[in-house]
Amino acid sequence: MRANYLLLSFILVSLSACGEQNSNTRNSAQMVVTQDTPNVMLILADDLAYSDLGAYGSEIETPHLDQLASAGVLFTRFHTSAMCSPSRAMLLTGVDQHKNGYGTMGEYLDSSQRGQPGYEGFLNDQVVTVASLLQQAGFNTYMTGKWHLGAASMPSNRGFDRTFILLQGAGSHFDNTGYARGQPTVDYFRNAEAVELPADFYSSDAYTDEMISYIDRDKDSGQPFFGYLAFSAPHFPLHAPTELIDKYEERYMVGWDVIRQQRHDALKTLGFIDANAEMAERLERVPPWNQVSAEDKRYQARKMAVYAAMVDRLDQNVGILVEYLKSIDEYDNTVFLFLSDNGPESNDFTTYPIVPTATEWIAETFDNSYENLGKDGSYIYYGERWAHVGAAAHRYHKTVVTQGGINVPLIISYGEGLPQGRIVSEFSSVVDITPTILDLVGTQHPGTEFAGRPIHAMSGQSILPYLRDQQDFIYPEGSGNGFELFGHNAYISGNWKILRLQDPYGDFTWGLYDLDKDPAELNNLAEQNPEKFQELLQLYSQYEIANGVIQVPEGWKMFENLGGSRQ
């Protein structure tokens, strides 16, 4: 079945390319590629937690990603936004979310933000993507997977030669079933043309097969490729092949308390967190596992098994891609970058009816019985009960700018072109990825103008000089980066972080935390370190002004503002 899908994808791509005139014609004057220019494969997971990979201490089996980590560089202090679209927009542009169109999620715009620059709710024209720059430099450019950067700005118009995408932010992994009563189906496009999905569709398999078909078609072109493989796993709804779910269920019958402690201990053993670091308390609504009924234990273990199976399957697909690149002798000449877009998802509308219409739609439409969990026709989340396991080293989860929401895995691997088996604990950010890619392939960012239009300069900086021991820092002392989403605020400089959280996560007062000793942000050191506290407050103020942050009022609630722009 899978081989048939790959063949079908290849035929459709070939047919769509016949006689095609690329609207983003390459400028021969900017052809900078040489025989030694590496390919770039950017792989993004969706809602994958910091401790979900074997290389980061997980019990989930991820041997292929673990191998990339051991053959490359693993980052322990890499950060994104606390939600997907802002992270994806920064990933592809190197420009802060408050300038690139995703000052907040388009679905949750406050009235004060609507219509303001940087808050368009789609990837705006004031930024240029890394795909556009590499396309002009002579790369073949491909994207498969989740877009979620707005229909007003399709990837086909942002530098990608060939694309197969899920337009929206979530949907069934087996078909085009949507995510709410108002969005009962989602849209898939190949090269900006709407497509129907085959009967044997599974998202992670299909995105990988399609990417391989693109690379295979052009493998004799003499041009390097840039591939952006944006998995929609392990984002809800949780779906996976049954045999993989069965593999994991018994593993999770020990419960979230045991697994969380095991992961926390593993992170200490690996040296990724301090040996004396405290673990945050169990989230308020999460009961102790020993107080859960036997029937519910079985149900909850099955839910987490589905999630683990999704991660396992994603890893298997990375292995398939790696083996393919080895078969065409391109593996050693390919830079791999793997990361997640934010921390683990805690929402579960089936358990807590925060959005009643979603809860009612799921109850009316899907079969979430134990026997059907993870199968086509089910619609489940793993919720905060297991999300706080994924964020074992940290506090909270996706949507919050605590480390649980923004500290995610990053692996960069490039044969002998970068160090192997290295662990990096320096602060870095998602806005650094585009500058790093451009540096790796020897392509310049245009600065403040592209294709005759004004654009923003990049906010991030290349990690490459640090990796090649040309400097002993990624961010110089006294600098760093700010974070804001849904009125939560943070700034990180070195090992220091200031943080201010909206209710119910905090009382909206600033605190200062030493991430080296306290990754869970439990001990506010503002009074003990007043000079450092004031320094970071000033840095955040400068960040806020420079990037046009529009702060929502104290007490603002995310779901009370659902229904903003979804362009």
User: Among residues 64, 79, 84, 488, which one is catalytic?
Assistant: 84
What number of CA atoms fall less than 13 Å from residue 83's CA on the CB side? 23
Q: Is 262 helix (H, G, I), strand (E, B) or coil?
A: helix
Is 84 part of the annotated catalytic residue set? yes
H-helix or E-strand containing 107? Answer: none
* DSSP SS3 for 283: coil
Assign 3-state DSSP to the chain and report helix, strand, coil percentages, each to 5.
35, 15, 50
For 312, residues 6+ apart whose C-beta sits below 8 A from its C-beta are 60, 61, 62, 240, 244, 247, 248
Query: Taking the mean position of all CA atoms in its chain, how far away is CA 287?
Result: 29
Tell me if the bond preceding 504 is cis, omega within 30° of 0. Answer: yes
What are the φ and ψ backbone dihedral angles of 146, each rounded to 5 degrees?
-80, 130
Whole-number Å distance between alpha carbons of 253 and 298? 7
Task: Say if CB 421 and CB 71 are below 8 A apart.
Answer: yes
Secondary structure element (H or E) that encloses residue 379, with its range: none
DSSP string, 502-542: -TTT--S--EEEETTT-TT-----TTT-HHHHHHHHHHHHH
- The active-site residue, picked from 64, 79, 98, 148, is 148
Assess whether 18 carries a catalytic annotation.
no
Query: Which residues are tagged catalytic?
Result: 84, 148
